[in-house]
Each structure stands twice: as structure tokens, then as C-alpha cells.
């Protein structure tokens, strides 16, 4: 089955860290560009980060640059998002998405991250 499944969400205090994982199946993960996208409660979607198929090209939104780090393990068909120095405004559902032809053709169901004291 072609799918992406996020895990690792939860409640964390401001200033804390959390690592999200995204497990891919049913397609050639090593050939795929993957993005993290988030949606804060009651807000629209926000692109967070991009990693190329080999992991050689990585981009971040200005709002997370310097705090978040994305990595890709093609041998394990997995993607990771290490989130440090978390802030209340990072509270959101985080989606793992596959990018192709200028859009996102496959999404996971998301992982909720809540940053609160």
C-alpha cells in the first residue's frame, strides 16, 4: 500500500525538543522528494522543510531555520524531523508529504505536536 505514516508527536515544554518520524511504503522512497508541512490549530497550511531524494538538497522555512533539522534514511524508507528550541507557535499537526511535478501527491495523516508548559 502506498502510504506515509508519521509518528513521534506529543506534548513538549517550550524550549524542548522532539523528533518526528515518517515511514514510507509502497513506492521507491529513495527516488522521492519529501517535504514536511504543518497546520497550526485554526490556521492554514505552512510549508516547513524539503529534502531531495538523496538528501543532498535541504531547505527550511525561515520560521524554523536554525531550530529544525530534516534527514532521510533511504535504507529504512524513513524521514525524520528533529525539532529543537520549540516554541508555542510550533504547535501544529505535522504532515509528511511526497513532492512530484510541483505539488504534493501523497500525504500522511499527520502527527500532532503541542508545545505548552
Partner 1 sequence: QPALTQPASVSGSPGQSITISCTESGSDVGGYKYVSWFQHHPDKAPKLLIYDVTNRPSGVANRFSGSKSGNTASLTISGLQSEDEADYFCCSYVGSSTRYVFGSGTKVTVL
Given the rule CB under 8 A, which residues bind partner 1? 4, 35, 37, 44-47, 50, 59-61, 95, 101-110
Using only the alpha carbons of the chain, give its radius of gyration. Answer: 13
Q: Closest distance between partner 1 and the C-beta of residue 46, in Å?
A: 7
SS3 string, 35-81, reads EEEEECCCCCEEEEEEECCCCCCEEECCCCCCCEEEEEECCCCEEEE
Between 56 and 117, CB nearer to partner 1: 56
Owner of C-alpha cell 508541512: 37
Between 30 and 40, CB nearer to partner 1: 40
Residue partners of 10: CB distance under 8 A and separation at least 6: 18, 112, 113, 114
Q: Closest distance between partner 1 and the C-beta of residue 110, in Å?
A: 7
Q: Closest distance between partner 1 and the C-beta of residue 52, in Å?
A: 12
Q: Closest distance between partner 1 and the C-beta of residue 95, in Å?
A: 7
Between 89 and 105, CB nearer to partner 1: 105
Other Cβ atoms less than 10 A from the Cβ of 3: the count is 13
Between 75 and 103, CB nearer to partner 1: 103
Amino acid at each position: 500500500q502506498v502510504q506515509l505514516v508519521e509518528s513521534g508527536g506529543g506534548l513538549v515544554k517550550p524550549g524542548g525538543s522532539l523528533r518526528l518520524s515518517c515511514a514510507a511504503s509502497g513506492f521507491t522512497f529513495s527516488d522521492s522528494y519529501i517535504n514536511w508541512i504543518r497546520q497550526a490549530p485554526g490556521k492554514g497550511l505552512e510549508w516547513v522543510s524539503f529534502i531531495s531524494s538523496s538528501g543532498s538538497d535541504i531547505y527550511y522555512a525561515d520560521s524554523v531555520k536554525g531550530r529544525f533539522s530534516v534527514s532521510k534514511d533511504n535504507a529504512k524508507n524513513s524521514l525524520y524531523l528533529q525539532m529543537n528550541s520549540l516554541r508555542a507557535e510550533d504547535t501544529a499537526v505535522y504532515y509528511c508529504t511526497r513532492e512530484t511535478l510541483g505539488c504534493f501527491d501523497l500525504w500522511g495523516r499527520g502527527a500532532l505536536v503541542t508545545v505548552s508548559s
